[in-house]
Amino acid sequence: MTDRPHSTRKLLQLCGAATSGQLYHHLRLLIDAGWVTPSSRGQYALADPERTAMALAAVQACR
């Protein structure tokens, strides 16, 4: 799911129980932190998929 931008509708489907307000709140935090970029109207993508994969692997290793 990291290979292309996704719409907020698709992101809501992937998040399950998240509300649109929660999604936009978290997207804003991720954009401000440089993890996500808005690619076009209502579309969002990972700013650096490789960096994200490395961070997720580090988190998983700590479990």
Compute the half-sphere exposure of residue 18: CA atoms within 13 Å on the CB side of its CA: 17
* 20: nearest Cα among 7, 3, 30, 38: 7
Chain centroid to CA 29: 10
User: Hey, which residues does 41 pair with through a beta bridge?
Assistant: none
Give the whole-number percent of the chain exceeding pLDDT 90.
46
> Quick count: other Cβ atoms within 10 Å of Cβ 25?
12
Q: Is the whole model's pTM more than 0.95, yes or no?
A: no
**Chain segment 29-54, per-residue pLDDT in tens:** 999 999 999 987 889 999 998 888 88
Give the CA distances from residue 9 to residues 6, 41, 44, in Å, rounded to whole numbers and listed in that order: 8, 12, 11
